Amino acid sequence: MTDLQYTLLSDGSTDRVLMPILTWLLHQHLPNCAVQARWADLGRLRRPPKRAHEKIQTAVDLYPCNMIFVHRDAETASLQDRQNEVGDAVRLACETTAIPPAIAVVPVRMVEAWLLFDAPAIRAAAGNPNGSVNLGLPRPADVESIPDPKTMLSGLILEATELDFIQA
């Protein structure tokens, strides 16, 4: 069995919920690979890189891998613009660092909206995959009308930890 280590470099911490999706996808297409996933948590660095190519270089340096997924929400840009942006950043990063194959992950809608009806992904992102608290997820038909899915997902992830927090 072959090992495949990938790193997800994302826009923010809530985007790590993409990892179960990416891992599932890799298992579907590479059934003979043992997939190991890591999320590049660059926000913890004393001086996180600002430019996209520097983020890619840092992610590969700190989280060695055979493949890197570079996530960017489409937001107001087109899918093609975001793919070009990631491609340009990868090319720049390759000028000074050995970069493994890189794949752009560009959800056209906010990824948080997609995951608001996926309790297992939310529980996995919360670090409590076997949790049992009722998350009260919206109906799939209502997801795209939620005004701030990112805030809602953050609250659901916190709730899915099933930890008691003291409100200040």
Give the three-state DSSP class for 18: helix
pLDDT of 108 strictly over 70? no
Cβ–Cβ contacts within 10 Å for residue 111, how many? 24
Indicate if the pLDDT at residue 111 is higher than 80: no
Mean pLDDT over 81-101 rounds to 94
Q: How many helices (H) and strands (E) does the chain have?
A: 6, 4
Query: Does the pLDDT value for residue 168 go beyond 70?
Result: no
CA atoms within 13 A on the CB side of 98: 3
- The string of pLDDT tens digits covering residues 115-160 is 787 888 888 888 899 999 999 888 877 777 777 787 888 888 889 9
pTM: 0.69
Dmax (CA) of the chain: 50
Question: In the CATH scheme, what is the code of domain 2-105?
Answer: 3.40.50
Interval 1-11 mean pLDDT:
92
On the 0-12 / 13-18 / 19+ scale of CB atoms within 10 A, 77 is: middle
Tens of pLDDT, residues 22-67 = 998 899 899 999 999 999 999 899 999 999 999 999 999 999 999 9
Token digits of residue 76: 């107001």
DSSP-H helix ranges across 7-116:
18-29, 52-62, 79-94, 111-115
Domain residue spans of the chain:
2-105, 111-160
Q: How is residue 76 annotated by DSSP?
A: T
